[in-house]
Amino acid sequence: MLPKYHRILLKLSGESLMGNHSFGLDPAIIAQYAQDIRQITELGVQVAIVIGGGNIYRGMNEAETGIERAQGDYMGMLATVINGMALQSGLERAGVFTRLQSAIKMEQIAEPYIRRRAIRHLEKGRVVIFGAGTGNPYFTTDTAGSLRAIEIKADVILKGTRVSGIYSADPEKDPAAKKFDTITFSECISQNLRVMDMTAFTLCMENKLPIIVFDMNTPGTLLRVVTGEKVGTLVSG
């Protein structure tokens, strides 16, 4: 079995780590993700990961919380580091070598993000987890994922979600929603399909970086995507 992609950026939402819980981390989901990622590293695929922090802290309305936007965004960045540490632990229990890099310096628990070092880790077969977003407020982890993917010259962004691809409407609310197998960047914009936030999406479009949206919570789907099966939705030029 040969992989279609040599180097990938896997974007996971913080909410996906909750499993069926309403907050925090589900050990069963982390273990499943670790096994799925181990499967593709055994094929020689180089894997970088960006995780959100919405299972721990999601930026809330400043008027309601009294927390200003920049402060809240930094809190969210710290949440992504917690998730990165949890996934790192799960991967290492599964026998996968990892490195956690943070865009905010915290040497006791993570390396600082250095692009060349990250690429070297990937070349040595280590899974690299990027924490703390871009290190700047007002940017989402989607933007961090797009930015890191471009910096490390990834072949594709794989966006793992709870649904099986991109639909014309929310499939959890609208049973008539139509799933797209392939779609262009411009079609996503014209139909107002929220694949990522606009900053992240524009970065991918300008750098001709394809995105595949797929269901990460079904075991084995990641392997199917990486080996070129038509799973999920491919967004390309």
17, 86 Cβ separation under 8 angstroms:
yes
Q: What is the mean pLDDT of the chain?
A: 94
| Helices 141-151, 198-206: inter-axial angle, 10-degree rounding | 20
Q: Is the pLDDT of residue 95 over 90?
A: yes
The answer as to whether 153 is a domain residue is: yes
- How confident is residue 132, by pLDDT bands cut at 50, 70 and 90? very high
Per-residue model confidence (pLDDT) at position 60: 66
The answer as to whether 115 is a domain residue is: yes
Per-residue model confidence (pLDDT) at position 171: 83
The CATH number assigned to the domain holding 113 equals 3.40.1160.10
The answer as to whether 96 is a domain residue is: yes
37: domain range? 7-236
Weakest-pLDDT range from 7-16, 53-62, 106-115, 139-148:
53-62
Q: How far is CA 86 from CA 10, 41, 43, in A?
A: 16, 19, 24
**pLDDT digit string, tens, across residues 19-61:** 888 889 999 999 999 999 999 999 999 999 999 999 998 766 6
Per-residue model confidence (pLDDT) at position 210: 98
Mean pLDDT confidence for 118-128: 98
The answer as to whether 175 is a domain residue is: yes
The answer as to whether 119 is a domain residue is: yes
Phi–psi pair at 7, nearest 5 degrees: -135, 125
**pLDDT digit string, tens, across residues 151-204:** 999 999 999 998 899 999 888 888 899 999 999 999 999 998 988 999 999 999
What is the count of structural domains for the chain?
Answer: 1
| DSSP state string for 22-41 | SSS--HHHHHHHHHHHHHHH
